[in-house]
Amino acid sequence: MAGLLEGDIAVVTGAGSGIGRAIAKGFAAVGAKVVVADINEAGASETASMIAQAGGEALSAVLDVTDRASCAALAEIVAQQYGATSVLVNNAGIVRREPITADKANEDWDAIMRVNATGPYNVTKAFLEPLKETKGRIVNIGSIQSHVHTGNAVAYTVAKHGVLGFTRALAAELGPDGIRVNAIGPGFIRTPLNAENRAKTDTEAQFIGKTPLGRAGEAEDITGPAIFLASAMSAFVTGALVPVDGGYLTL
Ligand code: NAP
């Protein structure tokens, strides 16, 4: 895979942790210059340092995907420091698990919609010009919950179904510009996002019980599919969601 993203400038949101970090490191390892963007400044610079230590090139940046001015400012910085962005990974996301009757349900609905549904829109809008210029590729991180519901997660399920709709609609709209838009649907992946849940509940065991490959995923399981969708290996693929879920959706 060496060199698959040589010459690419890739922006990965939420790259200060978990799946985004694994994707950023994987992209750098196959030649991309990577912009590690995250609301968590320390996490973003840690990822950028990891990439630099491995011999890659990365720029760390603070980004709140819910803030359109922050997205526009990042697009400006990347243009000045690196050039035209050719790959965008909309990965930043949050999860809150609770029933719709919970006291915090309204607040959590709004937060999840802002980050997981409107966030990818905000960042994509900010980077449209360079993506058009480079005939770029957008990879959105959906979920198995782009297709199905899992426990106590109405807002998250709606937002991730929205990511699939966003992917299909954008693929149709931007295809004539040469931009490809795809998504990845991770199953249960062991990251800081679900660390507390894993520690306090049997959620992980429940997911594994419904996963034909019989294990939880690791963040690095998402790297190969992301490189595939970001590179010329997927030149005729657009509007697709690739499940990376150990077979969860087959049951
Ligand atoms: P993670 O380890 O929590 O990483 C997400 C990163 O995004 C964190 O650094 C987080 O910062 C950051 N972030 C949160 N809100 C942000 C904002 N407004 N702007 C910019 N960055 C923000 O989670 P992950 O498991 O890697 O999840 C990555 C993506 O995969 C998410 O879209 C998630 O929904 C999706 N996904 C995960 C799983 C799974 O099982 N882990 C399964 C399916 C889909 P803070 O830590 O400060 O919040």
Q: Is 69 exposed, middle or buried (0-12, 13-18, 19+ CB in 10 A)?
A: exposed
> Tens digit of pLDDT for each residue in 191-240?
999 999 999 999 999 999 999 999 999 999 999 999 999 999 999 999 99
In ligand 1, the atom with minimum distance to the C-alpha of 144 is 43
For 9-245, which CATH class?
Answer: alpha beta
- Percent of the chain scored above 90 by pLDDT? 98
Q: Whose CA is nearest to atom 7 of ligand 1?
A: 14
Q: In what order do the strands lie in the sheet with 33-38?
A: 57-62, 33-38, 9-13, 87-90, 137-141, 180-186, 241-244
State pTM to two decimals: 0.99
Q: How far is CA 118 from the centre of its chain?
A: 13
* Residue ranges of the chain whose pLDDT lies below 50: none
Mutate to test the pocket of ligand 1, among 21, 39, 90 (most ligand atoms within 8 A of CB): 39
pLDDT at 151: 87
Does residue 156 have an active-site annotation?
A: yes
DSSP state of 116: I
Indicate the helix (H) or strand (E) that contains 217. Answer: strand 217-218
The reported pLDDT for the residue numbered 70 is: 97
